């Protein structure tokens, strides 16, 4: 417990410095999408420096959920309408829940995500892998997901309408799917009799990665809010599309390969259950 507390204290300190660095970039400057991007990159570099100092790339892990919430709070200036309030509330619920889920499973600075330990032996200089592959790329992906949130929070002139209702339903549903999947996974893992077994109950009976599905749908919900506020910003669809590509071609394959290595029966599970969407026409080999 003491080691975990120390680890959380270190991460809190690193993130406080990162926040101050990002704020310094934005100080005395009108808030814009561009200046927010610069601040996000600077904060990421500070977190990277902290991860190198403590020799643990998992210091970056909560940044995925913490940074978007902070950014949206910064964007939530002036009088907020129904759309802005909906985006802010849903973003905060998503961020708090996802960060809490990370904190629940993180074991302290002595533990580093298995994906990072594998990358350490890839032959590429570790600092470069850590900076680019583990930290900058996810930051860019998440900022892409935030592109439609900018018009949702700043463009006025279109009142809350039907598409906003759809956006609320999609986003809230996504949070519920992800939360339910994580809760079912934690409950399954706590049962001693399930050691070495494959979780195939609840949502995991219909999707191999329902938590990833919920995460993907969340960013599509954010895009719907952006289009509801400014239809001409439809091109911000690049944000959720990049999120989909990240999960389809990086996260899902890595998790599947690891599960196959640890549990031979996972091959049959892959044949039986699709990667994301619980539909027969989805490629089960993704």
State residue 80's pLDDT score.
Answer: 93
CA quadruple 220, 138, 41, 238: dihedral sign: negative
CA dihedral 191, 197, 199, 205 (to 10 degrees): -130
CA distance 166 to 83: 12
Query: What are the domain boundaries of the chain?
Result: 154-286
CA dihedral 28, 29, 35, 40 (to 10 degrees): 20
Distances (CA, A) of 242 to 108, 148, 223, 247: 30, 13, 12, 9
The residue assigned the tokens 């032959």 is 123
CA distance 173 to 157: 27
Residue segments in the chain with a per-residue pLDDT below the cut of 50: 281, 283-286
Structure tokens at 269: 């599970």
State residue 267's pLDDT score.
Answer: 93
User: How many CB atoms are located within 10 Å of the residue 144 CB?
Assistant: 18
User: How many CB atoms are located within 10 Å of the residue 79 CB?
Assistant: 6
Alpha helix locations (H) across 76-209?
Answer: 82-105, 114-120, 126-128, 137-146, 149-154, 162-190
> pTM of the full predicted structure?
0.94
CA distance 91 to 39: 19
State residue 281's pLDDT score.
Answer: 47
Cβ pair 275, 256 in contact under 8 A: yes
State residue 77's pLDDT score.
Answer: 81
State residue 105's pLDDT score.
Answer: 87
Q: Which residues contact 94 (CB under 8 A, 6 or more apart)?
A: 65, 69, 171, 174, 175, 178, 218
Q: What is the pLDDT of residues 189-248, one digit of tens each?
A: 888 888 888 998 999 999 999 999 999 999 999 999 999 999 999 999 999 999 999 999
């Amino acid at each position: 417990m003491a080691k975990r507390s120390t680890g959380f204290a270190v991460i809190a300190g690193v993130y406080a410095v990162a926040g101050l660095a990002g704020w310094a970039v934005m100080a005395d400057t009108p808030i814009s999408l561009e200046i927010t991007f610069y601040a996000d990159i600077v904060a990421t570099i500070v977190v990277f420096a902290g991860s190198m100092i403590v020799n643990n790339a998992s210091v970056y892990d909560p940044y995925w959920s913490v940074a978007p919430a902070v950014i949206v709070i910064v964007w939530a200036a002036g009088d907020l309408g129904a759309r802005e309030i909906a985006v802010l509330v849903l973003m905060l619920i998503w961020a708090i829940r996802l960060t809490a889920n990370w904190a629940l499973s993180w074991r302290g600075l002595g533990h580093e995500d298995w994906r990072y330990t594998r990358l350490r032996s890839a032959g590429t200089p570790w600092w470069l892998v850590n900076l680019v592959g583990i930290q900058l790329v996810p930051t860019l992906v998440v900022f892409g997901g935030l592109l439609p949130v900018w018009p949702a929070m700043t463009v006025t002139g279109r009142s809350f309408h039907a598409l906003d209702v759809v956006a609320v339903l999609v986003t809230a549903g996504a949070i519920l799917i992800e939360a339910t999947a994580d809760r079912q996974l934690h409950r399954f893992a706590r049962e001693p009799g399930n050691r070495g077994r494959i979780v195939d109950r609840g949502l995991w009976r219909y999707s191999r990665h329902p938590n990833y599905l919920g995460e993907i749908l969340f960013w599509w919900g954010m895009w719907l809010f952006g289009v509801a506020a400014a239809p001409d910003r439809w091109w911000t669809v690049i944000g959720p599309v990049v999120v989909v590509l990240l999960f389809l071609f990086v996260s899902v394959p890595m998790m599947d390969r690891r599960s196959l290595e640890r549990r031979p029966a996972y091959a049959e599970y892959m044949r039986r259950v699709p990667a994301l969407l619980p539909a027969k026409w989805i490629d089960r080999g993704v």
